[in-house]
Amino acid sequence: MATSPQTSLRSPLGRVRGLGSAKEGTHHWWAQRVTAVALIPITAWIVYSLLSLAGGDYIDYLGWVRNPVNSTLIILLVAVGFHHAQLGLQVVIEDYVSGHALRVVSVLAVKLLCAALAALCIVSVLIVAFGG
Amino acid sequence: MASATKPHSRPLSPHLQVYRLPLTAILSITHRITGIGLSLGLLLLTWWLVAGAYGQGPYETFQTVLTSWFGQLVLFGFSVALYFHLCNGIRHLFWDAGKGFEIGATQRANLIVLAAATVLTVLTWLLAI
């Protein structure tokens, strides 16, 4: 690595701004924090909802999901939750899986699986929310 | 270079198997482990929502499994992991803001995280039962 200012082709300003490849060096870190903050109020809401649903039957569930505020918050929980999980699992894989090919395949598998499951959850919520 | 007559004068880095991790380090690795656990718990959330879309039968199957002793045990573990990860995550956000890095503050925060997670877990299950 060319870290000495004398040998580097990058300007001092470019270096101090810390913009990595494609200028997204801090994107992963920042996205993990943004989703973390978003999950704090969402967690409070889902715990409250689960407690009020506990002991209820299917009709109670339908009524809960069909409330537009609830269906919106479930979808947000799913989207933000899976995104946060996927970002975290990526870091764990990058730390502990040593082979390059296996690491890339594992990270991709986690990302695709999270995206697929999130889509499945959201479609399921919409079916109930709009269902007759 | 150390002289040959004093072979043990240099400090050795602690080996993971004999080094007792400080509480802060235990909480740090627990944050990661609970994160993996919560990710697996998302499968449970998926099952719940999908069962709800498939109708009353699948939904009641899910309920039967979740209210069994094993299901309740998994749910309890999930709640512990959730509250720990939530509380320790909030302290991580303080660290991200550059606050609370002094040893005293870190040790105080360790205890606050553990106490808050315990209180929230107990409170939730008292309300649930």
What confidence category does residue B11 fall into, taking pLDDT thresholds of 50, 70 and 90?
Answer: confident
Tens digits of pLDDT across chain A (132 residues): 445 555 677 777 777 666 666 667 688 999 999 999 999 999 999 999 999 999 899 999 999 999 999 999 999 999 999 999 999 999 999 999 999 999 999 999 999 999 999 999 999 999 999 985
| Average of per-residue pLDDT values in chain B | 91
Closest-approach residue (CA) in chain B for A130: B53
Higher pLDDT, A39 or B11: A39
* List of chain A residues whose C-beta atoms are within 8 Å of the C-beta of residue B90: 40
C-alpha neighbours within 13 Å on the C-beta side of residue B55: 2
Q: What is the mean pLDDT of residues B3-23?
A: 72
The helices-and-strands tally (H runs, E runs) of chain A is 5, 0
3-state helix, strand and coil shares in percent for chain B, rounded to the nearest 5: 75, 0, 25
Q: What is the pLDDT at residue B97?
A: 93
Number of domain units in chain A: 1
Question: Phi/psi zone of residue A23: left (φ > 0), alpha (ψ -120 to 50 degrees), beta?
Answer: left
Whole-number percent of chain B with pLDDT over 70:
92
Confidence band (pLDDT; 50, 70, 90) for B91? Answer: very high
Query: Which tokens in the block code for residue B21?
Result: 């991790």
Contact A54, A104 (CB under 8 A): no
pLDDT for res B21:
84
Residue A13 placed within a domain: no
pLDDT value of position A55: 87
Q: Is the dihedral of CA A52, A57, A61, A64 positive or negative?
A: negative
Query: Which ipTM value was assigned to this complex?
Result: 0.86
B103-128 helix and B23-54 helix, angle to the nearest 10 degrees: 30
Q: What type of residue sits at position B96?
A: D
| Domain contains A41 | yes
Domain that holds residue A60: 26-130
pLDDT at B4 over 60: no
Sorted by where each begins, the domain ranges of chain B are: 23-128
User: How far away is chain B from the Cα of A12, in angstroms, using its nearest Cα?
Assistant: 25
Chain B residues near residue A33 by CB distance under 8 angstroms: 93, 96
Answer yes or no: is A20 within a domain. Answer: no
CATH number at residue A99: 1.20.1300.10
Tell me, what amino acid is at B23? L
> Residue B2's pLDDT band (boundaries 50, 70, 90)?
very low
CATH architecture under which domain B23-128 falls: Up-down Bundle (1.20)
Q: Least CB-CB distance to A124: which of B49, B92, B127? A: B49
User: Does a structural domain hold residue A2?
Assistant: no
Q: Which among B38, B60, B124 has the least Cβ separation from residue A85?
A: B38
CA A20 to CA A26: how far, in whole Å? 8
* Contact between chains at B53 and A127 (C-beta distance less than 8 A): yes
Task: Indicate whether A118 belongs to any domain.
Answer: yes
Is A73 an 8 Å CB contact of chain B? no
The pLDDT tens digits for B25-74 are 999 999 999 999 999 999 999 999 999 999 999 999 999 999 999 999 99
